[in-house]
Structure 1
């Protein structure tokens, strides 16, 4: 049965003369079992779905066959438009597509539905896309994201405190989201085969820390991880602030590294930084 999906993908590639573009991080998923698992775990029936980088549309058609209320796909590569038009002719009432770079796309243009994102993301946009979506959730109130990413990216996002993979990405994504690994995917599930394994993750918003200044928080996290091997005090010395006072107020040991500070520790640092900055320089 798996072979049928692979043949179907190869037929689409041949029919429309489609060629995976390495510069766009394109690897086309053909494994029927993986596609079914993604769709089943996403719960697409009667949901408004957005898919990023549909490519030949194998996952796309599976989402539609499983009775999504609506499906919008956003594809950067216009060579796939002919096939997307064909899909639209079969699903006129609940399918649409946009030829656009999702990293630059203005989501304010969309209706404010509670979308689910279900995507096999192109490898080269996985991190910027995820960071963008967690930033703009107040603009587009997405319900959850089920995304295929590189296994290495999934491990960074889900990394535990104090490990080598724990860093800016882990903190920014987990600040107001729960993240769960759903399944690992082997290179043989794709055409062409990538050199790395992939992982499907689910990101669900939890709105735990909604009153913090996200811009200041991100600045603090980025500064603290600017040189991983340095003590947190040395990294924060880049800022125009009394670092010793900042860390004392935040109950943070100045001699530890950023990888040993949890999310609540970074929140304390960012909030105290904001207050000290106002005292020293007024509103900033």
Structure 2
């Protein structure tokens, strides 16, 4: 690892340029990368599932911390760079689309997730990980890079403008926090927006609610944010009756309901 050339030199030698089509923005600052890894609850020898390593900046930081990394990368241009890294460190590289992977099968003993996620797939991956049928899940923690606006939606509290379906899902099944924020200048090339690293630690709600049912209820409730809950829930068969069965005030708006109230509403709808 110590003998490897600097990241910028590696990228230049490979002629690798960030692809806009793949949503790539490379983070190369070793101090920032090390600080992100230090915030992860990992120990030497732990398994880490990395999505979209690109040229391997975050991968290097993970390996330096003693992690055993399995990385999924769809950009064939980056594979030779990652192959050089795999030759000297415990790194397994899978070429493919992260949206099509089944990582649970790769880690029977569990793993941590780390990713500088391409902005165009980040939310879809997170929702998939939070909606798995088997819970507690295979992943022990997830430390993920998002646009700052998306990160704020994940950790938003009831009553805030950013609070919505994503915050309900994340807060229902995990403890989520923003670890750090990064300016556009931290990346190559600089994106047009600031970024933030979100860390999620799974927790077991143990409330008998299926994620698909919670998703349908929150989709209806937040589908018309400016309307009262009673009006918004008309789009869901049995939705209005569920409000009454849950003992909720139908004149409230969705953004005022906390997660426990959404769980109560979903249970009432399931029974209806």
Q: TM-score, normalised by structure 2?
A: 0.93
Counterpart position of 1:151 = 148
Q: 1:201 to 1:228 in 2, by over 3 A?
A: same
Counterpart position of 1:130 = 126
Aligned to 2:7, the other structure's residue is in SS state helix
Q: Distance in 2 between matches of 1:263 and 1:112?
A: 30
Say whether residues 1:256 and 2:255 are aligned partners: no
| Deviation (angstroms), 1:254 | 0.8
Counterpart position of 2:229 = 232
Contact 1:175 1:209 in 2 (8 A): no
| Deviation (angstroms), 1:44 | 4.6
- 2:103 aligned to 103, 107, 112, which one? 107
Q: Distance in 1 between matches of 2:239 and 2:205?
A: 29
Counterpart position of 1:118 = 114
Q: 1:84 to 1:272 in 2, by over 3 A?
A: same
Q: Distance in 1 between matches of 2:134 and 2:20?
A: 33
Say whether residues 1:77 and 2:75 are aligned partners: yes
Q: Distance in 2 between matches of 1:124 and 1:21?
A: 12
Q: 1:86 to 1:269 in 2, by over 3 A?
A: same
Q: Distance in 2 between matches of 1:175 and 1:99?
A: 33
**RMSD, aligned CA:** 1.8
Counterpart position of 1:39 = 37
Say whether residues 1:208 and 2:209 are aligned partners: no
Contact 2:131 2:212 in 1 (8 A): no
Q: Distance in 1 between matches of 2:251 and 2:83?
A: 59
Whose radius of gyration is greater, 1 or 2?
Answer: 1
Larger CA deviation: 200-209 vs 37-46: 37-46
Matches within 5 A, 1:183-202: 183-202=180-199
Contact 1:49 1:71 in 2 (8 A): yes
Counterpart position of 1:59 = 58
Gapped regions of structure 1 (runs ≥ 5): 277-284
Gapped regions of structure 2 (runs ≥ 5): none
Where in structure 1 do 4 or more consecutive aligned residues deviate above 4 Å? none
- 2:162 aligned to 161, 165, 169, which one? 165
Q: Distance in 2 between matches of 1:221 and 1:240?
A: 13
Contact 1:75 1:99 in 2 (8 A): yes
Q: TM-score, normalised by structure 1?
A: 0.89
Task: State how many pairs are aligned.
Answer: 267
Contact 1:176 1:209 in 2 (8 A): no
| Deviation (angstroms), 1:242 | 6.5
Contact 1:144 1:204 in 2 (8 A): yes
